[in-house]
Amino acid sequence: MNMNAKRPLSVTIVAILYLAVGIAGFIGHGWEALRATHFPPDAIAIEITEFFAIIAGAFLLRGQNWARWLAVAWMAFHVAISVSHPLRELAIHAVFLVLITWILFRSGATRYFCKAEANAT
């Protein structure tokens, strides 16, 4: 990563939120699955999803361009699975998707990710 490329505060906040949500979800859902009398069939899929949030957050901090796409895809996935949930939950996920996409693809963030990518080659 280019040490001269200044990471926007908004990208740092989004990355930390992804790390926090991913770690909390990974531990929380994992603990629930282990304590359940019958291992939930979707437990492994949920843990993989939480792991992707951790990966996205960690690599957003490192300035990896692909990580912002992963972060947006992760949130879009949550919007998609929220379609069968109450409308309020769908709306909240949709707002977060728009906000995260805007933050990660603004011009300052794009410069940060492009500089980091150029230095990797």
Residue at 92 is within a domain: yes
- Predicted confidence at residue 31, as pLDDT, reads 84
Residue at 1 is within a domain: no
- Predicted confidence at residue 110, as pLDDT, reads 93
- Predicted confidence at residue 1, as pLDDT, reads 45
| End-to-end Cα distance, the chain | 10
- Predicted confidence at residue 30, as pLDDT, reads 82
Which residues form the domain of 66?
A: 9-120
pTM of structure: 0.86
Residue at 24 is within a domain: yes
pLDDT beneath 50, residues of the chain: 1-3
- What's the half-sphere exposure (Cβ side, CA atoms, 13 Å) at 27? 5
Domain count, the chain: 1
Residue at 2 is within a domain: no
Q: Residue for token digits 């531990």? A: 27
Residue at 74 is within a domain: yes
For 33, the token pair is 């699955």
- Predicted confidence at residue 121, as pLDDT, reads 61
96 closest CA partner among 81, 75, 113, 80: 75
